[in-house]
Amino acid sequence: MQENFNQLKNKIENSNKILLINHKRMDPDAFGSLSAFYYILKDNLPKKVKAVNDDPRPDNFAFLDENQIFEPKLNLKEFSPDLIISFDAASTDQLWGIYKNNKEIFENTDLIVIDHHITNPWFWNINIIDTKASSTCELVYEILENFNWTKYITPKIATLLNTGMLTDTNIYYNQNTTSKTLETAAKLLKLWSDFWIF
């Protein structure tokens, strides 16, 4: 896993235009993990960052983030990303129209998959997949910690990550909740995550 973390950091450091994508009909884990990474990159690194999905942000997620960072009509050829990062998608099928209509761009651009689903077939050239993680949000926090980027986590970012963990574990009730999950939740609370978000 450390080698993959190193590859991800290296790719980010050597990229100028980064495209973030998650699965269609995004749930809080897909939304939270991508949005948290978006704000980390956009607000702290000299990169051009775009977020894309077939759909805009669901209206019922507006309380988490009032901004419409997702651009369903983004022209990928015009943006011309040099790095694509996929969040919480277990296959290219889950990337729907954005992938299907832009296969040439995806196939000729470095793509990194960040996911926790056991069904993921490791579908691209760099895969950061931890099936023991409760959620992609938990895995994203581990990445940020590994990069020494937790200093960039604002209360808003902490809440986005905590939301994905809460929902994917059924408020830390399901069997995918581990001691590491609870330790991560505690760290996010120290960073002023809003725990009572529902």
Give the N- to C-terminal CA distance of the chain in Å, as an integer: 33
User: For residues 64, 67, 70 and 71, what is the CA-based torsion angle, rounded to 10 degrees?
Assistant: 160
In this predicted structure, the answer to whether residue 195 has a pLDDT above a threshold of 80 is: no
Nearest to 135 by CA among 12, 36, 7, 24: 36
Average pLDDT of the chain to the nearest whole number = 95
Is 42 part of a structural domain of the chain? yes
Vertex 104 angle, CA 102 and 106, to 5°: 70
**What percentage of the chain carries pLDDT values higher than 70?**
98
Mean per-residue pLDDT, 179-185: 97
pLDDT of residue 117: 97
Is 196 part of a structural domain of the chain? no
Mean per-residue pLDDT, 119-128: 93
Mean per-residue pLDDT, 99-127: 96
Is 34 part of a structural domain of the chain? yes
In this predicted structure, the answer to whether residue 142 has a pLDDT above a threshold of 60 is: yes
Is 47 part of a structural domain of the chain? yes
pLDDT of residue 196: 59
Parallel, antiparallel, or unpaired for β 111-115 and 48-52?
unpaired
Using alpha carbons only, how large is the chain's radius of gyration in Å? Answer: 15
Tokens of 81: 């990303």
Instruction: Look up the CATH number of the domain holding residue 107.
Output: 3.90.1640.10
Q: How confident is the model at residue 193 (pLDDT cuts 50, 70, 90)?
A: confident
Mean per-residue pLDDT, 148-166: 97
Mean per-residue pLDDT, 61-76: 95
Q: What range does the domain containing 106 cover?
A: 2-190
Is 180 part of a structural domain of the chain? yes
Mean pLDDT lowest for which of 34-43, 55-64, 152-161?
55-64
Q: Which amino acid is at 17?
A: K
Extended strands (E) in 11-81: 17-22, 48-52
pTM of the complete model: 0.95
The predicted-structure confidence for 89-103, as pLDDT tens digits, reads as follows: 999 999 999 999 999
**What percentage of the chain carries pLDDT values higher than 90?**
94
Q: Are 21 and 76 in contact (CB under 8 A)?
A: no
Is 198 part of a structural domain of the chain? no
pLDDT of residue 1: 86
Tally of domains within the chain: 1
In this predicted structure, the answer to whether residue 197 has a pLDDT above a threshold of 90 is: no
pLDDT of residue 194: 75
DSSP helix/strand/coil, 164: helix
Mean pLDDT lowest for which of 55-64, 73-82, 99-108, 143-152?
55-64
